[in-house]
Structure 1
């Protein structure tokens, strides 16, 4: 199949996570993605415009979405990772949808996903990840390299579960949470919206919305968000 006949994708974000997506679709020769091609990148860094990343051109910033859609690129993926955070991931995801792009789920064939797992639009599960039975994963979620999400977990929209993190059984993670690399969340914990779990932390009790916790056991370093 020629490149012009393939499912054409734009990846929003030309950094580390964007390159992971390009490699998954184009770089590894995986039969699951033989009919796909990443044909454009966008990025907020103006110095990247006109350059190529892994042989994919950076065509500008997010303001190019509508033009790219009108040019026949049908699918959009968020390539924004840890550095720019979950809030920007959420904004870009919404803008891709508003521009008309389909928001596919990508699962590396080297990941293990139970048969009854629900995966929301735009979510990406990378190589070596494990997602156990009964899990419900929201929209625009990243389950990164080697991360494990055990049985019956609920993960809200726009979350990132970083490399090697372990979310144990029955955990509830609300929207736009970052679980850092190598962190462990013990069973049946709830992590509130917008919270951050630091790399290597062990979470033994509930985490309030907006709070950052670090260490073993995890302790707060940022006050939770309050309304008033």
Structure 2
């Protein structure tokens, strides 16, 4: 929402909107399935996708989330997701001297050209990370645990067989709509594509989710 940059005394502060409902990680892995209903999960999934689409294709210069995971998604009291990139702010603050200076006609901020050079790779990493978050949302599984290994490795065999995708769903979840599950799984499958160049853009992902998941969610 804003920031403070005082020189004397030296002080740095970033002001975020209050999200008193904690993180998506806490709700999925430590909350009750009844509280995080299927509709709420779909609302969160679409909200994250729209936020990433804005960062990747509507913001100038474009941006990404450096460490995108369910811990970097905060939720408000009405379960609207908010993306936070604390790692980005830490990096910016630690290199604050490099960020100061005059803007010129070639870039919007210092380091702009270097940032854009790495953008395709970062965007594709965000697509993969969002696929993992979607798996967490529908399955309730951890991205990695010692007993079961990586969630992606467990899920891939079901994602490749459309008739098996129901086995991905958190057994505590009720009112799961099969057509919406199919949309989510198709997005996950294409977002987790091993070849980075073949992964869906967040612009496409957000469109697929908005078109494929009926926003009866707007009635919530």
- Do both share a fold (TM > 0.5)? no
Q: TM-score range by the shorter chain?
A: under 0.3
Normalised by the length of structure 1, the TM-score is 0.25
Q: Which has the higher helix share?
A: 2
Highest RCO, 1 vs 2 (Cα 8 Å, sep ≥ 6)? 2
* Rg larger for: 2
